Amino acid sequence: MKYHQIEAFYQVMLTGSISKAAKNLGRTQPAVSMTISTLEDQLSTVLFDRHAGRITPRAEADVLFGQINPLMSQINDIRNQFGQLARVEVPRISIISSNNAGNHLVPAALAKIASQGQQLRLMIASSDAIISEMENQLHDIALTDEGRIEVLTGSSLFEAEVFEIPVYAVCPKGLLGNAGEVSIKSLTGMDISILYEENRTTHEIRTQLPPPRVEFSAYFPMACFSALHGGVAVVDSITCSTMQALTCNSLAVDYHPITDVRPARYYLIRSRYRQRSKVADQCYEALSKALHSHKPN
């Protein structure tokens, strides 16, 4: 069970109505109804009898409510205590991204919109956390690479557009000679850096290479490390543009396309049940344009 499921169930039990629960939670009625249905599927039980637009708790719901009621009371007490503190205004457009995209691509794509006075909240999280928070409708837009959890493009809770980004070998200038494109096999024997195994994009590549000497959880520092220590970093095109922008091309490096690996996958995601706006559309379009610029011709 996830917290947003427990919270939705708790509010339905308190109010006796999905519509009233949705109002208390600041969500839509379909979103709360879907959350309750998903919770029932996960528990392999039916919590409510549904008839003529009304719901009636079953014995199973009473048992679950008795278990979570003390916990939710404690959480509400904590919220009330913190509610007495000074509140910070929450920007209207909330965007969350994985580390690699959040280093440069996201702020660069949205800089013009921000300069026009629009308030933005830009956050970074792991792929797993991003998917969980988008299921909970906590952000307007998300951009993530592949983590441990497969991103469901047909989710009922969010829309997801897939972008395939080319993979590159980044190394000190001249290390691989005058080669343009390279293969994974041609990198055998080199000091290779690649992301941790929980990243789905790089898992297949790791099976073809010896264990890396130094492991990283983010592309940008990994690429900089390899450039400064005579190694090769297996990254994607987004990392290459980030290096060029953030180092002002001060590092003497080569970027070699790798021909025999599948592209890295990125997912541009929008919540289905958050209110849409013209500015949110502009943000989405700006991010989509930035991602399209990295796709192969």
Q: Is the entire prediction scored with pTM above 0.85? A: no
Using CA atoms in the order 177, 178, 184, 188, what is the torsion angle rounded to 10 degrees? -10
156 and 175 together in one domain: no
Residue 295 in domain: no
Residue 234 in domain: yes
- Residue 230 region by backbone torsions, left for phi larger than 0, else alpha for psi between -120 and 50, else beta: left
Residue matched to tokens 């921000």: 114
Give the Cα separation of 71 and 65 in Å (integer): 10
In the prediction, which pLDDT does 88 show?
46
Residue 130 in domain: yes
Give average pLDDT by consecutive 10-residue segment, the chain, 297 residues. 87 91 87 91 92 87 90 77 52 89 96 92 91 91 85 85 94 88 88 78 77 83 92 93 92 92 92 89 96 85
In the prediction, which pLDDT does 179 show?
75
196 and 242 together in one domain: yes
In the prediction, which pLDDT does 240 show?
95
Q: What is the domain extent for residue 210?
A: 167-257
H or E, element range at 236: strand 232-236
CATH of the domain at 36: 1.10.10.10
State the total domains in the chain. Answer: 3
Residue 90 in domain: no
60 and 75 together in one domain: yes
Strand boundaries in 42-147, DSSP class E: 48-51, 54-57, 93-97, 120-124, 141-145
157 and 173 together in one domain: no
CATH of the domain at 235: 3.40.190.10
Residue 175 in domain: yes
